Every structure is written in C-alpha cells, then in structure tokens.
Chains A and B, each alone.
Chain A
Amino acid sequence: MFKILRAEELTENIFLMEVEAKRVAAHCLPGQFVIVRGSEDGERIPLTICDYDREKGTITIVFQIVGQGTLFLSNLKAGDSFTDFVGPLGCPSEFCDEDIESLKKKSILFVAGGVGTAPVYPQVKWLKEHGVNADVVVGAKTKSILILEKEMEAVAGNLYVTTDDGSYGRSGMVTKTVEDLVAEGKKYDVCVTIGPMIMMKFVCKLTEKLGIPTVVSLNPIMVDGTGMCGACRVTVGDEVKFACVDGPEFDGHKVNFDEAMRRQTLYKTEEGRAFLAAKEGDTHHGGCGNCN
C-alpha cells in the first residue's frame, strides 16, 4: 500500500497528492510517469510525476478528473492509500543525459497547457537545480483553473502566463504567446510542450514553421505500462513506437497527432457511460439511447 501524505484540490477537478513510494522516488527523473490503482478492483491509471523528494521517499502527482477512475482517486484523502503505485515508467527527458555545460548554452522554452503544467514543472525544476534557466509559457482557459503558478515562478527563468479568455496574464492561446515572444526577439534552440493533444499539435505546427526542434510528451491509453500490451502505440515519422517504453517523449514534428487523438477516443463511450453511472448512480438515464 502506498500512503497519501497530502491531498489537495488545486482547482476545480484538478487534484494534487503526495504519496509515499520509496522505490519510485529513489529512481525517477523528469519526464517519467507512474501507474496507479486506487482500489483492489480499480483501473490501472497512468499519471505523470509532478515532483519527487528522494529523502522523504515521496512522489507528487497531479491529475484531472476525466473518467470514473480519476473520479474515484479524487475522493482519496491524506492518510488513505493507493493499492498500487508503480514506476518510474518510460524514459527520462532527453536532457537528463546531456552534458550540463552544453545544456547551459541552450535557450530552452517550455510550453505547458492546463494539467500539462504538472509534468513540465519537474523538468524546469531539474534544469534550475543544474544551473539552467528555461523560459516557460503556461496556458489555461481561464484564471480560476490555472495551477502551480507560484511553484513554476520559483524555478523558471521567465514565466509567461496566458489565459484563453484574457482573465489573467497575457491573452489568447499559448501559440500566440510563443509567436509574440519570438517576434519580441527571443530565440529558442529547443521547445518542450506538454498539454492537451490538440494544443501540442498546434504548438508543433508553429515551432516547425519557426524552426525550433520540439519535444512532446504523449499520454495515450495504456494497460501495463511496461511494453507488454501495445495499447499505447503511436506513429512517429514512419515508425510505430510504444509510448510507455520508447516514450512518453517524442519528436513533436514527427508525431502523427491525428492518429494519436483518434486512438485516445477508443474507450470514450464505454468510459463515459461508466463515469455517468458512477456519478448519477441509479438515476443515470441520460437518454443517450446507447444503454442496453
């Protein structure tokens, strides 16, 4: 069992939990993820690592309620435990292996969207700890759902917050901020973008035009997370990769986003039904006509 030391609702539907997981905390690096189960009959849910404390032996995760499984997790409190918490899975971010001196000469841009801010945080923090200052763009639909702003501010070289509706910081999508920064004279050698698939797709379109190599972190459907099931396969260039063992980070200019987005919808109907049934119980008769 993996004990929850801290559980907070960061904003509506987005939760942060610090969990005791000694083996994961001893070995994880930015870019990696965990798979958790909240109960004996729970689904295996892949979640990105938001922070880790090697001495305390804890991992911090951040997740958004997207279905029945994450809804269940959101009800766990400090003192409760995860039945399972396995990791670190996937490969660490590429820069973890790079020479620090050459990394220091690079100008790095992170572009985070929504709950994708969480996995960007440990990367920016790791760089900061190694003397590398990166620029970070964080986007949210509106001010009230912005997460981890203070934490990010403490580790970013420059932080640019933008909201789609202009309720806070800059106004518009993250792509607009990136375009503006480049227009203002900023030069970037590499971009890392994590967020909703559609956002990453458009950031990649833009950075391709701007000639900035771009890394994306994908979160496809997975079961085991160790390469065994192949549910998470994505097309990168002309190769099929397993996101769980070959990724989750890939060259964003080569990822087939349309296929990846389509594959994410695979169980949507089934999950949606289970979610509604869990939320509405016996009263769930949505009139969708799909129930048997």
Chain B
Amino acid sequence: MEVDVMKKVPVKEQDPKVRATNFEEVCLGYTAEEAKCEASRCINCKNAQCMKGCPVSINIPGFVEQVKNDDFEAAYKIISESSALPAVCGRVCPQESQCEGKCIRGIKGEAISIGKLERFVADWARENGIKPEKTAAPNGKKVAVIGSGPAGLTCAGDLAKLGYDVTIFEALHKAGGVLVYGIPEFRLPKDAVVAKEIENVKALGVKIETDVVIGKSTTVDQLMEDEGFDAVFIGSGAGLPKFMGIPGENSNGVFSANEYLTRSNLMKAFNEDSNTPIMRGKKVAVVGGGNVAMDAARTALRLGAEVHIVYRRSEAELPARVEEVHHAKEEGVIFDLLTNPTQILADENGWVKGIECIRMELGEPDASGRRRPVEVAGSEFVIDVDTVIMSLGTSPNPLISSTTKGLEINGRKCIVASEDLGKTSKDGVYAGGDAVTGAATVILAMGAGKAGAKGIHEYLSNK
C-alpha cells in the first residue's frame, strides 16, 4: 500500500445512499494494514503537541509507534492507561479540534488520523479478547459514582484501578448514559462497542446498580451517612431539554431531541419489533445546529423522512462537528440556514402541519464571538412538516443539587466544581461532566471524570 505522507489514509465508509436507509455504522474503520500505513506517517515528535490537545492525556505518539511496530496489544495497553473508553472516543471525539488539531503533520499536510487509529486499536483489542488490567489491591474504601455516562465510567474505572470499591448508580435501566440514549447506533454501535467497554469497566471490579435516581430513590447524603460511601462523584449529565417557547410547541408531533433519540437509541424504537413507539414522520424539521441536531436529523432520515435542519445562523457557525455536517449532507439532510422558527402550525386536531420561520441575516458579533443573527422583517414563510424536533440544548436537572445539603450551584444551575480535581463545596463530594459544564462532549466529560478520580484519590489518601 502506497502512502502519501501529506494525506490521511482514507477510511472506508458505507455508501451514503445505502446508509441513509439503515442503522449500521457509517464508518467502517481501518484494517490492520491501513492502520500501520497511517501510523507510519507519524513523525513521533519529542514535544508531542497532540497529547496536549487530549483531555485525558493519552500517550499518543507512544501508542501510534506500537501500531507502526505491529504490536497492537502494546498500543492498547498504552491507551488504557489513560482512557477507559477508547472504542467510544475513537468514534465520537472531536479530534479535529483536539489531538489532530495540534498535530505537527497537520501544519503542511493532513494531521495523523489519531481518532481512527485509536478506534482501530480498541476494536482490535475487543475482537482479540484483551482487557484492561486491574493494578492495585483493594484498599477497602467505598466510592459512589452517580451516573454511568462517560464522566462516571471514567471516574469509576480510574478509581477501581487504584483499589477503590466503586459502585455506579444509574437512573435508567441501562448503563452508558448519553452513549446509549443519545448517540445513535450508526455512529456508536451499542451492543458491539458501548456494552463491551462497560464490561471492561466492570471487569475492573466496578459495580453498577441501575434504576436508582439519586435525589429520589436515595440521596447523596444518605449514600455517605447510611450506606458507608467515603466519597461521591456526581456525573449525572445534562438534564432537561430546552424548548423555544413559541406558539404551537405542545402540538402533537413536536419532540425534544432527547425524547426522539432516547426512543430510538435506548428503547430501540427504530426497530420495527420494538415495544416502544416512535413517530415516523414523512417530513421532519430539526431545529438547532449542534451534534445532537445532526444525530436527530440523521435518525429521522433513516426512519424514512425528508429532513430539514433549521438553524438561525449560517453554516460557519454550526456548532456540530464538520464531519457530522458532512455526513448529514451526504445522506440527504436539507439545511435551511439563517432560518428561525416563529411558530408551529397545527391542524384542527392539534397535529403538526407546518413550521413558520423567518429569514435571518448576520449582524454584529455577540457575547459568544459569533455574529448575531437578526430577523429580516416580513420574510416569514412556512415549511410543511408533520414532525418538529427541538434540539436547542439542555439545562441542568435540579434533582441532585436540590436534595444535597451544602452543594453549591452557579447561576446556570450547574454544580460548582474545580476543574483540576472536580472538588465541590461539599466535603467528600466531587463532580464533573455536563452536570458541571452544561452540555459538552463525551471526551470533556471523560476528562472531568479523570479529574474527579484524582481529586477523590487525593482526598481519601489524606483522610
């Protein structure tokens, strides 16, 4: 295989026309040969910038070197030292703005495909039955982790490796958090990838108790006082979906992206045999431009709909990853940019029949540094749709903060926690992920889980 050192070894993907009708994974990943070729492009910088771009500081040149050497097991062990979920991260991390964004190769040519290599190594390890190793002997200290999403799993995995007795409490019936309810199958296979990575965390000795809603089934204080947990990490995630507050929003056929994706991903409603229903619209508008909006749009497309993304700014401001936008376009999602909904129109029985929008233009930059969209007077028009999916972000769920004594929250109702150690205002309680930052990415949550584990380890070591 010939390698152009300036260019990434291309990765195979399902044909857009085919994949738009199925829920199989879009990206097929590297073969061993392709991975080795791609790894050979790495110049193994002494002062590796890529590592600085990684929220969990994986020894990237180290593992890439081992891929080059054909020692995939050694590569996996290097990644496992820093990440509990490599098969997940290789698929959903925004590498272009992290490790790959800092890659020296990327200055003149294309960055090394670090994400695809990580994915290859993790998939290879899984297929060959290689698991991360537990390192320390049990130290007899109990830690409760709230939430089994990326922050919780990472924190639990790190603490278990240090010898802690860790129990994760999950509100839903299945572990994984956003990895199982939020990110669709075609980006992140649930049984083949997510379930296996969770098994790996369990193999480190972590216990997972599902169906426990902290704040309702029990509280943080009770976990510490009555159940003998020495410390608690809160990684409870993003919370309540936002709506626009426009007329007609409670019409039948308007969903939050959370609901739509949860039905499809967690409850498997995309599958005709599922016991949980989902509305298979014929024409769907997804309002919003983030990764979640892309996931919802591409799900609706696969359920047979014509799909419009309705976003009030222009393409340059879309918060979604470029790769997601690209994939959505390839599959046939229509982008109605500089367009903002003003009301949802319903028929006489209350079912959605259209969405009235107004054209926008970009004005001066706002607080976020992006140019503020301004309405073009009199430019209202109607898109005929039968389903509207609101993907406008989330606000924190007050269930835990309102039931935990002495836990400080900020003006946005997020839990206040230090960035380096996840330390909250309450002794022994640490937090990280979306519950602290508001909705962000899987890898940032994992970074926060790592910080929390470090904080808890320091706290309990000195106690």
Q: Does B10 contact A (CB under 8 A)?
A: no
Contacting chain A: which of B256-264, B370-378, B437-445, B455-463? B256-264
Q: Interface size (B, Cβ < 8 Å)?
A: 37
Query: Which of A69, A227, A240 is B397 in contact with, Cβ under 8 Å?
Result: A227
Query: Which of A86, A228, A263 is B239 in contact with, Cβ under 8 Å?
Result: A228
Inter-chain contact B267/A223, CB cutoff 8 Å: yes
Query: Which of B171, B213, B252, B399 is A266 in contact with, Cβ under 8 Å?
Result: B252
Query: Which of A44, A87, A242 is B173 in contact with, Cβ under 8 Å?
Result: A44
Docked CA distance A89–B171 (Å)? 11
Inter-chain contact A230/B171, CB cutoff 8 Å: no
Docked CA distance A247–B205 (Å)? 38
- In the complex, chain B residues whose CB is within 8 Å of the CB of A24: 217
For chain B residues 266-313, which have a beta carbon within 8 Å of chain A?
267-268, 274-277, 279
- In the complex, chain A residues whose CB is within 8 Å of the CB of B256: 229-231
Q: Does A80 contact B (CB under 8 A)?
A: no
Docked CA distance A267–B280 (Å)? 11
Docked CA distance A33–B263 (Å)? 21
Inter-chain contact B279/A229, CB cutoff 8 Å: no
Docked CA distance A237–B263 (Å)? 29
> How far in angstroms is the closest Cβ of chain A from B248?
11
Docked CA distance A9–B247 (Å)? 44
Q: Does B255 contact A (CB under 8 A)?
A: yes
Inter-chain contact B217/A43, CB cutoff 8 Å: no
Q: Does B6 contact A (CB under 8 A)?
A: no
Inter-chain contact B259/A263, CB cutoff 8 Å: no
> How far in angstroms is the closest Cβ of chain B from A27?
6
Docked CA distance A262–B250 (Å)? 10
Inter-chain contact A235/B240, CB cutoff 8 Å: no
Q: Does A41 contact B (CB under 8 A)?
A: yes
> How far in angstroms is the closest Cβ of chain A from B306?
18
Inter-chain contact B267/A43, CB cutoff 8 Å: yes
> How far in angstroms is the closest Cβ of chain A from B117?
34
Inter-chain contact A223/B263, CB cutoff 8 Å: yes
- In the complex, chain A residues whose CB is within 8 Å of the CB of B211: 84-86
- In the complex, chain B residues whose CB is within 8 Å of the CB of A27: 216-218
- In the complex, chain B residues whose CB is within 8 Å of the CB of A87: 213, 216-217
Inter-chain contact B350/A259, CB cutoff 8 Å: yes
Inter-chain contact B399/A233, CB cutoff 8 Å: no
- Per-residue CB contact flags for chain A residues 211-228 toward chain B (1 = under 8 Å, else 0) read 000000000000110111
Docked CA distance A110–B236 (Å)? 37
A-B contact count (CB 8 A): 110
Inter-chain contact A267/B277, CB cutoff 8 Å: yes
Inter-chain contact A231/B217, CB cutoff 8 Å: no
Q: Does B241 contact A (CB under 8 A)?
A: yes
Q: Does A139 contact B (CB under 8 A)?
A: no
Inter-chain contact A86/B279, CB cutoff 8 Å: no
Q: Does B23 contact A (CB under 8 A)?
A: no
- In the complex, chain B residues whose CB is within 8 Å of the CB of A230: 240-241, 243, 255-256, 258-259
Inter-chain contact A231/B350, CB cutoff 8 Å: no
Q: Does B212 contact A (CB under 8 A)?
A: yes
- Per-residue CB contact flags for chain B residues 375-411 toward chain A (1 = under 8 Å, else 0) read 0000000000000000000000101000000000000
Q: Does A265 contact B (CB under 8 A)?
A: yes
For chain A residues 178-225, which have a beta carbon within 8 Å of chain B?
223-224
Docked CA distance A120–B258 (Å)? 32
Docked CA distance A37–B274 (Å)? 13
Query: Which of A43, A86, A242 is B276 in contact with, Cβ under 8 Å?
Result: A43
Q: Does A245 contact B (CB under 8 A)?
A: yes
Inter-chain contact B399/A229, CB cutoff 8 Å: no
- Per-residue CB contact flags for chain B residues 152-179 toward chain A (1 = under 8 Å, else 0) read 0000000000000000000111000000
- In the complex, chain A residues whose CB is within 8 Å of the CB of B274: 41
Inter-chain contact A233/B275, CB cutoff 8 Å: no
Q: Which B residues are closer than 8 A to A by beta carbons?
A: 171-173, 181, 210-213, 216-218, 239-241, 243, 245, 249-250, 252-253, 255-256, 258-259, 262-263, 267-268, 274-277, 279, 349-350, 397, 399
Besides A23-B212, A274-B277, 16 more A-B contacts (Cβ < 8 Å) are A27-B216, A41-B275, A43-B267, A86-B213, A86-B217, A87-B213, A223-B276, A226-B397, A227-B239, A228-B181, A228-B239, A229-B256, A259-B350, A263-B250, A265-B252, A271-B277
**10 A-B pairs with the lowest CB-CB distances in the bound complex, closest first:** A229-B259, A270-B277, A86-B211, A230-B256, A84-B173, A23-B217, A267-B277, A262-B350, A43-B275, A230-B241
What are 30 inter-chain pairs, A to B, with CB distance below 8 A?
A23-B212, A24-B217, A27-B217, A37-B173, A41-B268, A43-B267, A44-B276, A86-B171, A86-B212, A86-B217, A87-B217, A89-B213, A223-B262, A223-B276, A226-B397, A226-B399, A227-B239, A227-B397, A229-B259, A230-B241, A230-B256, A231-B256, A233-B250, A240-B243, A240-B245, A240-B249, A245-B397, A262-B252, A267-B279, A270-B277
Q: Which A residues are closer than 8 A to B by beta carbons?
A: 23-24, 26-27, 37, 41-44, 68-69, 72, 83-89, 223-224, 226-231, 233-235, 240, 242, 245, 259, 262-263, 265-267, 270-271, 274
